[in-house]
Structure 1
Amino acid sequence: MQDNGSPSKLVTSKTTDFVGEDKSKVSPGKHKSKLRLFLLVTALVVALDQLSKLRIAANQPPTSLEFLPGFINLVFVKNYGVVFGLFSNHKGLHIALSIAGSLIILALLHYHPPTTTLGMSSLALILGGGLGNLIDRIRLGYVIDFINFQLFRWPAFNIADAAIIVGTFTLIYYFCKSGILRKHYEYKRTSGD
């Protein structure tokens, strides 16, 4: 091999997270702290969800209990469906969808982990909420819903549902902020697909 005095070039492959951010810019220490955050947020959501449902189930309000008068009531609803009670006749499907959703989140975390706190937190909220409701479905055959907004006459929901919704919206925000949609569109346009 001949040395011509030029610096040698190191060829590396660029690895990116699921929104195209360069993962090589993230130090292993930062990745571990984000993983700890992911695990902590997931565990907190599951714990808060399950503890709140146990408390409501133990002290079932007769019909409805005013929590914040005119705004939020506490109720006890057995939700055999998915969101807002839809598809209540398909029990096995709910469990399968919950497991599939959890596996997708874990696959994203493993193969393309987000490099930002927002991305990690979004996935953790969605996974924590999904696991909270999955525990109910397996343990009880239904999900306990207990938060009832009076202002909008919204169907009853629980902490897991709220975590899934907040996680989904923050994940969408993360995608938009990171430019994933633009990057995907540009890739499709330049590749001819």
Structure 2
Amino acid sequence: MRGVPRAGLVGGVAAVIIVVDQLSKHWALRRLGDFSTIEVVGSLQLRLTWNTGTAFSLGDDLNLGPIIAVLALLVVGWLLWSGHSARRPGAVAAGLVAGGAVGNLIDRALRSGPNGQPVGFMGGAVVDFVDLQWWPVFNVADAGIVVGAFLLVVVSMFEPRTDAPGDDPPAGDDG
């Protein structure tokens, strides 16, 4: 079946990721804005950074971050339309990716640049603050995208094949 059989689940998961992401970024700006660091456990620390590039701060000077986020949303749209989100795990994965992409797009659209520098529309910096010290600094939206993408790969490996693209899942299968 073509369409959006689990759009509510995708939207619900995305909404949770967006809210938690934006609240955590607001907290990080208030608590870590003075460039302080909070040691949590092991190598995990909370430290405010600004990402003007793509994922993991790659390409800071290329301004590709907004393009990548829009591409992620297009992938989620395709997942919904193609039926890959018809089962619960696929819908959750799509919601994680969508919520993460929107969370970071909100930063790009509504935040200033690092240190309050004025920027044009979609030129804002993404707030990152989770620092493992052995991985690039990230945020809740980034975690949603990475976990969602990983889950999509796992789900696609175990998804039963159908005779034709877009066929309905077996009757009574809720995923």
TM-score range, shorter chain: 0.7 to 0.9
2:109 to 121, 138, 145: 138
1:79 to 41, 51, 76: 51
Aligned 8 A contact 2:55 2:65 in 1: no
Which structure has the larger Rg? 1
Partner of 1:159 in structure 2?
140
Partner of 1:169 in structure 2?
150
Sequence identity (%) = 31
Partner of 1:46 in structure 2?
18
Deviation at 1:59, TM superposition (A): 1.6
Partner of 1:37 in structure 2?
9
5 Å matches for 1:1-193?
15=1, 31=5, 34-60=6-32, 62-66=35-39, 68-91=40-63, 93-140=64-111, 141-150=124-133, 153-179=134-160
The letter of the residue matching 1:64 is T
Counting matched residue pairs gives 150
Deviation at 1:154, TM superposition (A): 1.4
Partner of 1:8 in structure 2?
none
Deviations 1:138-185 (A, max 9, x none): 1121111100114xx2121100111111001100001100156xx99x
- In 1, Cα distance between the equivalents of 2:42 and 2:146? 23
Tell me the TM-score normalized by structure 1: 0.70
SS in 2 for 1:163: helix
Is 110-119 or 120-129 further displaced after alignment? Answer: 110-119
Task: Give unmatched runs, 5+ long, in structure 2.
Answer: 112-123, 166-175
Deviation at 1:117, TM superposition (A): 0.2
SS in 2 for 1:59: helix
- In 2, Cα distance between the equivalents of 1:179 and 1:87? 38
SS in 1 for 2:129: strand
Partner of 1:11 in structure 2?
none
CA RMSD of aligned residues (A): 2.3
Tell me the TM-score normalized by structure 2: 0.77
